[in-house]
């Protein structure tokens, strides 16, 4: 799945043309005030799946976590998923002991697996079902270059403010001057939800019975980045 990026340069602004007193200068300076907004939408390329492995019994045979983890890693490698993307959910702890009866203690391990596409999600959920993993869920989504695009949105907002001011001044025969003030108004929205997680799990389960058909691509809500600046420019 290719990363989709939608750049939207919004020239949404409430504009004020007026005069301000420049401190230390002793004279009035004609100025225009605008609000510029930059927006960007990203399709997540990092999806984090949480799940649990527990010791269990098949008849009188105890299936240890070590053997389950070994099988998990072997099958992830077959799916060409990097084992570096498999981590314990809590690096500070290894096993969690769960008391079932007075003489029976069951150990469990919580994991986080990072995948990159919705196709990989379906295959991983199928795998987790086959190895009897517990509590499999989409924990969160992210983008590998999120910080880079946040910076780009900031630049879009500043450029939008300048374009807005320039257009308004041109309409009345004036020319934009140097910036007198740029004030940040950060409004990031970067944690989308996965659409129809339950449907995705069902699709993964159905895929086991129909391996000839391609696993379907499923959609995420896009990561929405929004950044606003207040700017004041001198009028020449």
CATH of residue 112: 3.30.70
Residues 202 and 227 occupy one common structural domain: yes
Instruction: Identify which has the larger pLDDT, 129 or 203.
Output: 129
* 126 & 153 share domain: no
Half-sphere exposure of 103 (CA within 13 A, CB side): 0
**Nearest alpha-carbon partner for 138 in 68, 207, 46:** 46
User: pLDDT (tens digit, 9 = 90+) per residue, 6-31?
Assistant: 444 443 444 444 544 444 455 678 99
Give the phi and the psi of residue 18 in degrees, each rounded to 5. -160, -160
Domain boundary among 141, 169, 198: 141
pTM of the model: 0.69
Domain boundary among 104, 119, 141: 141
Q: What is the mean pLDDT of the chain?
A: 78
Q: Which residue has the tokens 């991983």?
A: 124
Q: Are 120 and 81 in contact (CB under 8 A)?
A: yes
Predicted local confidence at residue 217, as pLDDT: 52
196 and 155, same structural domain?
yes
pLDDT of residue 57: 86
Cα–Cα distance for residue pair 165/157, rounded to 1 Å:
12
Q: Higher confidence at residue 24 or residue 219?
A: 219
Give the mean model confidence (pLDDT) for residues 70-94: 87
Report the distance separating Cα 223 and Cα 147, nearest Å.
12
Mark which of 84, 106, 141 sits at the end of a domain.
141
Asked whether residue 51 carries a pLDDT value surpassing 60, the answer given is yes
Same domain, 33 and 20: yes
Same-domain status, 112 and 153: no
Rounded CA separation 138/118 (Å): 11
Co-location of 181 and 204 in the same domain: yes
Model pLDDT, residue 184:
87
Read off the CATH number of the domain in which 204 is found: 3.30.110.170
Half-sphere exposure for 185 (CA within 13 Å, toward CB): 15
- What per-residue confidence (pLDDT) applies to 185? 80
Do 176 and 225 share a structural domain? Answer: yes
Question: What percent of the chain shows pLDDT beyond 90?
Answer: 55
The region of weakest confidence among 71-80, 145-154, 180-189 is 180-189
Task: Name the domain count of the chain.
Answer: 2
Q: How many helices (H) and strands (E) does the chain have?
A: 4, 12
Owning domain of residue 204: 1-45+143-236
Q: Which of 234, 3, 236, 41 is nearest to 156 (CA)?
A: 41
Q: Supply the pLDDT for residue 168.
A: 96
pLDDT at residue 149 in the model: 95
Indicate if 41 and 65 belong to the same structural domain.
no
Say yes or no: 136 and 53 in one domain: yes
């Amino acid at each position: 799945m290719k990363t989709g990026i939608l750049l939207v340069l919004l020239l949404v602004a409430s504009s004020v043309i007026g005069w301000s007193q420049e401190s230390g200068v002793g004279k009035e300076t004609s100025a225009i005030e605008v609000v510029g907004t930059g927006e960007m939408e990203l399709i997540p390329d990092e999806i984090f799946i949480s799940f649990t492995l527990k010791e269990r019994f098949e008849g009188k045979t105890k299936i240890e976590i070590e053997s389950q983890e070994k099988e998990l890693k072997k099958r992830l490698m077959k799916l060409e998923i990097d084992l570096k993307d498999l981590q314990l959910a809590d690096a500070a702890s290894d096993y969690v002991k769960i008391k079932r009866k007075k003489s029976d203690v069951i150990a469990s391990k919580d994991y986080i697996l990072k995948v990159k596409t919705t196709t990989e999600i379906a295959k991983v959920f199928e795998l987790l079902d086959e190895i009897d993993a517990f509590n499999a869920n989409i924990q969160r989504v992210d983008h590998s270059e999120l910080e880079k695009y946040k910076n780009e949105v900031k630049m879009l907002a500043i450029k939008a403010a300048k374009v807005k001011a320039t257009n308004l001044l041109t309409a009345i025969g004036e020319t934009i001057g140097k910036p007198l003030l740029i004030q940040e108004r950060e409004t990031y929205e970067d944690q989308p939800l996965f659409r129809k997680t339950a449907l995705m799990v069902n699709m993964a389960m159905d895929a086991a019975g129909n391996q000839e058909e391609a696993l379907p691509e499923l959609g995420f809500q896009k990561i929405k980045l929004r950044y606003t600046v207040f700017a004041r420019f001198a009028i020449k």
